[in-house]
Homo-oligomer: A and B are copies of this chain.
Amino acid sequence: MFFVEQGEVRLVRHTEAGQLVTMFRARSGDTLAEPSLFSDHYHCDAIADGDCTVRVLGKAIVLGAMTKDTDFAIGLVQRLSAQVQSYRRKQELLAIRSAQDRVLAGLADGWMTGTVVAFASDLGLSHEVVFRALSDLVRDGQVERPARGVYRLKRTDQAAS
């Protein structure tokens, strides 16, 4: 297991077809690869986005800390719970068939942080469709584009009939 002290690490896997799937984005304070505590064969690749410092926590150390330090154990459970919750939300979001609806939901959930290309990848859509969906949403007035490559939800005061 790893502890990210500083920076950001992405956990990724690639499908046989060659596309990269981001499994988890760990920021400073997060733990990484918790399942490796119990499972032997567990494989993801880790990509450091920028400089970062990571502390390695061996299996024995973690299990020991759990017995001695209650807060540590609770913190771990909490982080894992949060991960589970966000995976569920992600699953729900990815189940949305319509590209436009999915893009809108992604925006609402604050997934559009970096580039549109990265956003599209997170959504599991080609960037072309995402660009198009964004354009349509701007045209519809649901989304605003303060600048090139910057999109954000327009406050929806539900003015419709």
Contacts and interface: CB of A to CB of B under 8 A. Distances in A.
A101 interface: yes
Contacts of A15: 92, 95-96
B70 A21 contact: no
Nearest to A124: B95
Interface residues of A, number: 42
B74 A17 contact: no
A137 B90 CA distance: 30
A17 B13 CA distance: 30
Contact of A87 (B38, B78, B91): B91
Interface in A75-109: 76-78, 80-85, 87-88, 90-92, 94-98, 101
Q: How many copies of this chain does one complex carry?
A: 2
A38 B82 contact: yes
Given A15-B92, A87-B91, A80 B82 contact: no
A35 interface: yes
A94 B78 CA distance: 26
Contacts of A90: 91
Nearest to A97: B17
